[in-house]
Amino acid sequence: MWGLLLGLPAGIVAAVLAPAEWRLILVLAGVIMPALPAGFTGPTVVRRQWLIAAVSLPLGVTVGGLAKQSLQPWALQQSQQYILTGTVVDIPQWGDYSRRFRLSVDCLGSALDPCGRFRAGWWTWWPPRVELTVYDNQVTLQPGERVQLRVRPKRSRAASDSGFDVQRWMLTQHLVARLALVKGTTPQTLRASGLSVNRLRSRFNRYLAQRPEAPGWSALASQPVILALLTGDRSLMSGSHWEVFNRTGTTHLVAISGLHIGLVAGFVYWFSLPLLRRWQWLTHRVPAAHGGAVLGWLVALGYAAMAGFALPTQRALIMLTVFLVLLLLGFARQLWFALACAFCLVLVWDPLACLSLGFWLSFAAVFVILWVVGGQVVAAGRGRRWLQVQLGLWAGLAPILLWLVQSVSLISALTNLVAIPVIGFLVVPLVLLWGVLWPLFGAAVDGALQLAIWIQDLLLWGLQWGARWPYGVWQVADSGPLPMLLGLVGVLWLLSAGMPGRIWGWVLLVPMFWPPGPPPGLYIEGGGGARITLLAPGQVQFLAGGHWPRVLARWQSQRLAQWGVVMPPGELDLSHSLSLWQASGPVLTTLETSSDPLGVNRVRALHFTDPCQEPGPDHGTLQLEIWRATKPRDLCALAFVWSELRWLYWSSPTLRGQREIATQLAGRRFDVLVLDLEREQPVVAELLNHLAPGAIVFSARPPAPAFESRLRQAGISRHLLQGPLAGREKGPVGWYLGPAAASPRTWQP
């Protein structure tokens, strides 16, 4: 059995995460494994398990490969319209100017052939879904409706390394396309929605979104958190909510997952066990513990349904089912075997789950809990054991978080020590009780809801207080896997009972918390536009398109996190923020930084400059020379010198403005040209006269074919700054140039 539980998941993970050319090697490895010495000379049990692992490894590769292939994003033509027939399977997600729906696809094609692109079979293990964006507020779609509508593909803009990985996210969500309803069209309803859980979820969403909330202790609203705990809809939560949860390490508490499912099942089990023990008819046939476990599983099933059977809740339900079956069969104490079974079954059910960070964090957390609790030599009280579990979880997950997201909350062990019992045993039971009674009695049972809101408000107040601590989050620069591996060894050394020399465990943790930072220099990358970043001692500068109303664009925040530059909590000194609001072209964002006594690089102030409008000569480390067009005045070209190379940043969208600026460049030659223009936008031919021999051209998008042809005739190399998105020209993520004279080199952190 262990051979199957190890070989099958290993094959699935390898097929999903490894490149396609490695799959054949893994299949051949499964064929060769039985011929290795362990397959002949080992004990009978070892040989049998070795053979089972050898057979299950290529089987897992096949399962993972089929899942990844069947859910690959569709290569749809951006300029073409399609006819989509499908069923709305989830409640809408509200945005600032749109709504997003999930649909299971029955047919996709053209008006002449509605199913020419895709036709759903009578049954599929991994049904594909699409995300539909609707911008018209008059269009309404109800969960469970089968509709036919005219759609167009939605372009994905996240293409840089620092940006959001759209393709990976789509695979984890089983989305094969992101579509938008064609403007001016209305959906045709083929089948009305019936009574369903999703319709009830929509009613909860509307009620809580419209219900007024009185101010409480916390400055944050509690009803969006209540809605997230009830239906899994987090669209009403603001950025301030996420900042508090991120800084206190409690983000997992507002995402219905294994923690919530397990706590609800445990609460029902312990609450019902004394009552079931008094039921003689039941206890004469089965143990009361079995009845309580089954009852807890049924309530957890209802909670998962209320959350829309999202993929994390499906995985949690599978894990809970495995533990329930082993309990009923009398194998409740074989916890490691149960964990291996759950890991295997979750991957068979959803092979692409291994692409999600939450999947690995969930199983890593369960592993740490079993390691800490199972390794205790002396029995401890419940309070001490709960503290040991939280400290163990913090230490066990810190290496993974510091490696993958470059930050970890230093106070998460303390906040979760209080927040998990409050959420799991007070707020969630009250919310579920209200959710069961509200469809029957309406506002008459709002007392349970109000009590949950009061408790949640008090918890938010405490979390806000903890989030104000400057060292609440430890942020490090991006580093390789070696500090993470050393940290994991150190964690196991510290958490293992009876291990000598615990001091060496702490020593192995040091490289993880103080890794070397990135080298100073100029970084250029793509993703929605050309982005230039200058990293210098005491200063970080971004030259890119505007990002109003955000103080920092998402990619800028992620780049700072990757480099270990910390944004302080609370208010920050902002200078010339009006320039950020008014700028229609590029914006120069300057961040002043300083190191504190612990070596943490923190942001002290932000300055915004609209270089096309402001004549200010002092632009920090990046000294700009500016040429402006007369009409309109917001068009300009920017030049600067870096690493003894002359750079020209070209972002003028009109040919008239380009010709006027090109005339002002008379007599000047540049070594590097950065084009920040729309896809296939024309570029004046005169610009080539200002490029020095051996010049390099970077472009965020492919330029017009005519200009592309002139570049080839002149022997000038052109590099595309964008990630490997399907259906587009592939290119390096970014380029880096150090302070000393050198040629740009590919930068792939």
- Kindly tell me if the per-residue pLDDT of 103 is higher than 50: yes
Higher pLDDT, 38 or 265: 265
Confidence (pLDDT) at 430: 93
- Does the reported pTM lie above 0.85? no
User: Which of the four pLDDT bands, split at 50, 70 and 90, describes residue 296?
Assistant: very high
Residues 6 or more apart whose Cβ sits within 8 Å of residue 686: 659, 662, 663
Domain residue extents for the chain: 1-71, 82-194, 203-359+418-473, 481-514, 521-737
**CATH placement of domain 82-194:** 2.40.50
Check whether 24 has a pLDDT greater than 70: no
pLDDT at 749: 35
- Residue with tokens 């209320």, as numbered in its chain: 306
Exposed e or buried b for every residue in 467-498, given b needs 16+ CB within 10 A?
Answer: beeeebbbbbbbbeeebbebbbebbbbbbeee
Q: What Cα–Cα distance (Å) separates residue 379 from each residue in 61, 336, 383?
A: 43, 20, 12
* Number of alpha carbons in the 13 Å side-chain half-sphere of residue 604: 9
Residue 353 pLDDT > 70, yes or no? yes
Tokens of 583: 């700028």
Q: What's the pLDDT band for 616 if we cut at 50, 70, 90?
A: low
Candidate ranges 193-207, 259-273, 550-564, 613-627; pick with highest mean pLDDT: 259-273
pLDDT of residue 162: 46
Residue 60 has pLDDT above 60, yes or no: yes
CA distances from 702 to 691, 706, 715 (A): 19, 11, 17
pLDDT digits (tens, 9 = 90+) for 556-570: 888 888 888 888 776
- pLDDT, residue 370, reads 86
**Segment 209-216 mean pLDDT:** 80
CB-CB contact of 660 with 629 (8 Å): yes
Rounded distance, CA 533 to CA 525, Å? Answer: 8
Please report the pLDDT score of residue 729 as a whole number: 35
Q: Measured over all CA atoms, what is the biggest interatomic distance in the chain, rounded to whole angstroms?
A: 99
- What average pLDDT score do residues 374-401 get? 80
pLDDT of 347 reads: 92
Q: Which of 53-92 are b and which e, b meaning 16 or more Cβ less than 10 Å from the residue's Cβ? A: bbbbbbbbbebbbebbeebebbebeeeeebbbbbbbbbbb
- List the end-to-end C-alpha distance of the chain, in Å, as a whole number: 40
Average pLDDT over residues 699-712: 85
Integer CA distances (angstroms), 455 to 106, 134, 219, 312, 460, in order: 45, 36, 14, 26, 9
Q: What is the mean pLDDT of residues 699-710?
A: 84
Mean pLDDT of 476-494: 84
Token pair 């040989």: residue: 47
Among the ranges given (271-280, 521-530, 703-712), the one the predictor scored with the smallest mean pLDDT? 521-530
Q: Is pLDDT of 76 > 70?
A: yes
Distance CA(645)–CA(637), nearest Å, equals 17
Tell whether the model's pLDDT for residue 598 goes beyond 80: no
Q: Which residue blocks in 235-381 are alpha helix, DSSP H? A: 239-248, 258-277, 280-283, 288-306, 311-328, 335-349, 357-374
Could you tell me the pLDDT band of residue 726, with boundaries at 50, 70 and 90?
A: very low
Res. 609 pLDDT band, cuts 50 70 90:
confident
Residue 503 pLDDT exceeds 50 = yes
**Sequence-separated (6 or more) residues with CB below 8 Å from residue 440:** none
Note the residue count of the chain.
Answer: 749
Q: Are 347 and 12 in contact (CB under 8 A)?
A: yes
- pLDDT for 617 equals 46
Confidence at residue 337, expressed as pLDDT on a 0 to 100 scale: 87
| Cβ count near 640 (within 10 Å) | 21
| Model pLDDT, residue 530 | 84
User: In whole angstroms, what is the distance from residue 216 CA to residue 102 CA?
Assistant: 35
Question: What pLDDT sits at residue 158?
Answer: 45
pLDDT at 547: 73
**Greater confidence, 175 or 746?**
175
- The pLDDT tens digits of the residues spanning 106-158 come to 898 887 777 877 887 766 788 889 999 999 888 888 888 899 999 999 876 54
For the chain, what percent of residues have pLDDT higher than 70? 86
Q: What pLDDT does residue 161 have? A: 44
Task: Give CA–CA dist 618/392, Å, rounded.
Answer: 50
Question: Residue 424 and residue 428: Cα distance in Å, rounded?
Answer: 6
Give the residue among 607, 610, 652, 645 at the shortest CA–CA distance from 629: 652
Tell me the pLDDT band of 737, cut-offs 50, 70 and 90: confident
Predicted confidence band of residue 724 (pLDDT cuts 50, 70, 90): very low
Burial environment of residue 41 by CB neighbours within 10 A (0 to 12, 13 to 18, 19 or more): exposed
pLDDT digits (tens, 9 = 90+) for 625-646: 888 877 766 678 888 888 888 9
Q: What percent of the chain has pLDDT over 90?
A: 13
Average pLDDT over residues 293-321: 89
C-alpha distances (whole Å) from 482 to each of 398, 488, 489 are: 14, 10, 11
Q: Which residue has the higher pLDDT, 48 or 291?
A: 291
In this predicted structure, the answer to whether residue 20 has a pLDDT above a threshold of 80 is no
Structure tokens at 608: 């915004």
Q: What is the pLDDT of residue 611?
A: 82
Q: How confident is the model at residue 414, as a pLDDT?
A: 92
- For the ranges 219-228, 579-588, 664-673, which has the lowest average pLDDT? 579-588
Residue 747: which pLDDT band, with cuts at 50, 70 and 90?
very low
Which residue is listed with tokens 């209080």?
418
Interior/surface letters 348-358, b for 16+ CB within 10 angstroms, e for the rest: bebbbbbbbeb
How would DSSP label each residue in 463-488? HHHHHT-TTSEEE-B---HHHHHHHH
Confidence at residue 460, expressed as pLDDT on a 0 to 100 scale: 93
